[in-house]
Every structure is written in C-alpha cells, then in structure tokens.
Amino acid sequence: MRRKTILLILLALLAISLCLLAVSGSLLGRRPFSRLTADKIRGVHLTLQPPEWSTELTEPADLETLAALLQKLRVYRESNGGQHYAGQLVTYTLTLQDGTVHTIGAFTPFLFIDEVCYEAEYAPCEKIVSFGSSFLP
C-alpha cells in the first residue's frame, strides 16, 4: 500500500511539473528566428502598408541588421488582435539560401509569421517596424 501511495504522489508531481513547464513556455515565449544569420538570407523584399511601397534589401549591412533584429523577436501565443489594429504594417519576405520563404509582418505589438498572428514582445517588434520604415524615401 505504501508503494502505491508513493507512486501516486510521484505521478501527481510529474503531471504538475509538465503543466508548469507548458505554462512557463507560453509565458516566456519563443524566439522563432534565434538562429537566423545574414549569410542564411538570400534576399529580402520589404513592403510598407500604408503607403503601398516596397523595395528589395540587398546591402550586406542591412541584411546583418535585419538578421540581428529578427533574432531578438519573441512571440507568445497566437492572437487575432493584429487584425483589428490600424496603422502601418511592415512586411519582410525572406528568401533563405535553402529556398524556404518566410513572411514576417510587424504591427506592434503583433507579429505575423507565415500568416499566423502572434502577440509579440513590444520593444523588438517596434525595432523591426522602425527599421523597415527607415527605408521609406
């Protein structure tokens, strides 16, 4: 009987630990581009809406800066909130060296990654928006 009690306590502790791990992961967020470096980027198409304006980012320094900013982005849970905001959407379409394409739309404090909207950490998201807006003539 004592072994059953100990086993049940251990199973309960394991279940509680797994729940806490899942909750803390969503609270801490994740960094989807933490391993992205400029040498992995083949090309970047930048679009600002409004105004309907776009350009290609080709300068190595710009790609370095963008990669560093994307590494710092932290997303939390999925959200539909970004669809109800008004303002400027800055969209980066990244083509990587391996041929994969990612679309990243920044609309502080929301981030769209491949058409999925996430709540994002404010400061890094705002820096992505400011960086994109700096190219507007």
Predicted TM-score (pTM) of this structure: 0.78
Encoded amino acid at 22, one letter = A
Question: Is residue 38 domain-shared with residue 105, that is, in the same domain?
Answer: yes
Question: Is residue 81 domain-shared with residue 19, that is, in the same domain?
Answer: no
Residue 27 has pLDDT above 90, yes or no: no
Question: Is residue 90 domain-shared with residue 117, that is, in the same domain?
Answer: yes
- The packing angle between helices 122-133 and 60-72, to 10°, is 160
Question: Is residue 100 domain-shared with residue 36, that is, in the same domain?
Answer: yes
Residue 22 has pLDDT above 60, yes or no: no
Domain count, the chain: 2
Question: Is residue 54 domain-shared with residue 102, that is, in the same domain?
Answer: yes
Question: Is residue 48 domain-shared with residue 77, that is, in the same domain?
Answer: yes
Residue range 67-126, pLDDT digits in tens: 999 999 999 999 876 666 677 899 999 999 999 999 999 988 899 999 999 999 999 999
Question: Is residue 17 domain-shared with residue 47, that is, in the same domain?
Answer: no
Looking at residue 5, its pLDDT comes to 82
Question: Is residue 19 domain-shared with residue 80, that is, in the same domain?
Answer: no
Question: Is residue 11 domain-shared with residue 54, that is, in the same domain?
Answer: no
What average pLDDT does range 119-135 have in this prediction?
95
CA dihedral (60, 89, 117, 103) in degrees, to 10, reads: -30
The winner for highest mean pLDDT among 10-14, 64-68, 75-79 is 64-68
Give the domain extent around 16: 1-29
Q: How far apart are CA 55 and CA 35, in angstroms?
A: 25
CB 105 within 8 A of CB 93: no
Question: Is residue 13 domain-shared with residue 63, that is, in the same domain?
Answer: no
Q: How far apart are CA 91 and CA 94, in angstroms?
A: 10
